[in-house]
Structure 1
């Protein structure tokens, strides 16, 4: 007797689609800054997901306040900023927004606005136009504070005991250049204090990236930081450093105008590095004499 067996049904081999979490991440990463405003087609193009999928997920993200939707398109919502609500950061972003734009236009570099959260920094804003994609950071993202110029600029205004409590005995590493020794970190923060708060980093947070940053100071310490980032091979950090100091000072003046007069009675300016250009040295000295730097 011949037994006829059915051949197993052939199934078309398809690539397993990403999980919902992966799709959501791709969509949020399409926004390269808090100010980014994208159409549905632009989000679909950047995320490389089907338009119908993007539309469905965006609707859910809007309902949950991860994304905002208006006539101009979509932009990141408050939850996407990763700060657990405003916490006063909306005011900081508003004060900083025009200055971040000006910094980018003047230098052509990527500009970040960051806040300190424990031993990490959170990016509140990122301005860089087409260059933004070359820097591996995103609004709402977190990185170890000691690995970034902005983070170190804020840490430098904290008490050494606070630094010990934040980092324990071994700070986290991002690259082979990241400071992971607590003693070395204290030395670096002391150098930043001697420069009146100006911080540098070269490939400590990401390979190929160099940054300069300065903190925005309030009544009880640093409230935010501004930084400029570019290619480590071409970025002239010393030349643009005065612009970063100036921007941080202006943001602080907007947020805390009552502190302006007190800071004018500043200490003598600490000499800057001899490798800096005469133009940069003169600008930095002038800022220090008139406003205590920041």
Structure 2
């Protein structure tokens, strides 16, 4: 057995230490280049901070993106869900739940419908909270449960604010079916997400996740993209989703103001909105939301 003297090992010329010899060391350098959860860097910025060759950084970043350690969007790179989860953290989910909790209960009291709070985890929506009296037991959703994001109103509301290229990476050309009304083509999903963006972020679904259940959802957003989705669910045969849509918009706006006050307008005292007496046409609803929601929705 060869014995390596520690002093000799530490006396390796500095020139040989310039480029870390192992993939683990290089990967660590790249992850350390990000200052925190909100840090966003270009390829050139990562190469500059790590002092690694640009080609090396690009190759390793590609692998980190595929393994969810890093996310890649139009602005560059940021830490992914695996990196965010290190150290036992909850990716800020407790903060989102705390900000949304009073609004979820208010939505349920106003409408009698089931209210969901969900976040994106890859291609799936994960439920952080569920509020709703007796009807809640009739829905298969549960806190901690997962569903394909494209099947729910809250999930589609979040996907609408994800780069289309990322959506392509989440799903294949064919999407699995939950009901006979589920979107099953990626091209159809992109058309639906575009319609949601045109409606300032308002998403609907009728029986796509669960037969007979209709939902309306809106995303809570930050400068970096969707943070969470809030949705109202009820019996698709009787509920008029357009009537309750402004309430979901208002709740999502309030949660956004709480989590990211720099994105909202100055508060002038919140008034509890009433449910309109009649439903609106799509054109009327679009005009209303354009006035109510501003540019962040």
Report if TM-score (shorter chain) is over 0.5. yes
Select 2:242's aligned residue among 238, 245, 250: 238
* CA distance in 1 between partners of 2:280 and 2:242 (Å): 11
Q: What secondary structure sits across from 2:227 in the alignment?
A: strand
Aligned residue for 1:224, secondary structure, equals: strand
Match of 1:160 among 143, 161, 164: 164
In 1: Cα distance, 2:167 partner to 2:286 partner: 30
Alpha-carbon separation, structure 2, partners of 1:274 and 1:254: 29
Give the match's secondary structure for 1:169. Answer: coil
CA shift, 1:144, in A, is: 0.5
Moved beyond 3 Å, runs of 4+: 280-283
CA distance in structure 2 between the partners assigned to 1:99 and 1:172 by the alignment? 32
Contact 2:263 2:296 in 1 (8 A): no
Structure 2, unaligned runs of 5 or more: 1-87, 267-278
Counterparts in 2 of 1:175 and 1:85: CA distance versus 1, 3 Å: farther
When structure 1 is superposed on structure 2, of 165-174 and 242-251 the one drifting more is 165-174
CA RMSD, aligned part only?
2.4
Specify the alignment match of 2:109 in structure 1. 105
Q: What is the TM-score normalised by the length of structure 2? A: 0.63
Which deviations, in whole Å up to 9, do the C-alpha atoms of 1:27-60 show, x marking residues without a partner?
xxxxxxxxxxxxxxxxxxxxxxxxxxxxxxxxxx
User: Equivalent of 2:98, from 84, 94, 98?
Assistant: 94
The one-character-per-residue Cα deviations of 1:196-249 (angstroms, maximum 9, x if unpaired) are 110000000000100000000012000001000000101110000000011001
8 Å Cα contact 1:124/1:140 also seen in 2: yes
Deviation of residue 147 (structure 1)? Answer: 0.2
Task: Compute the displacement of 1:194 (Å).
Answer: 0.4
Structure 1: 5+ residue stretches without partners: 1-83, 263-272
Residue pair 1:245, 1:293 contacting (<8 A) in 2 also? no
Separation in 1, partners of 2:114, 2:230: 11
Does 1:275 pair with 2:278? no
Which of 122, 128, 133 pairs up with 2:126? 122
TM-score with structure 1 setting the length: 0.64
User: Which one of 200, 203, 212 corresponds to residue 208 of structure 1?
Assistant: 212
Paired residue total:
200
Which residue of 275, 281, 295 corresponds with 1:292? 295
- Alpha carbons 2:242, 2:280 under 8 Å: kept: no
CA distance in 2, matches of 1:226, 1:256: 16
**Counterpart Cα distance in 1 of 2:176 and 2:186:** 11
What is the correspondence of 1:126-205 to structure 2 with a 5 Å cutoff? 126-205=130-209
Deviation of 1:275 (Å): 2.2
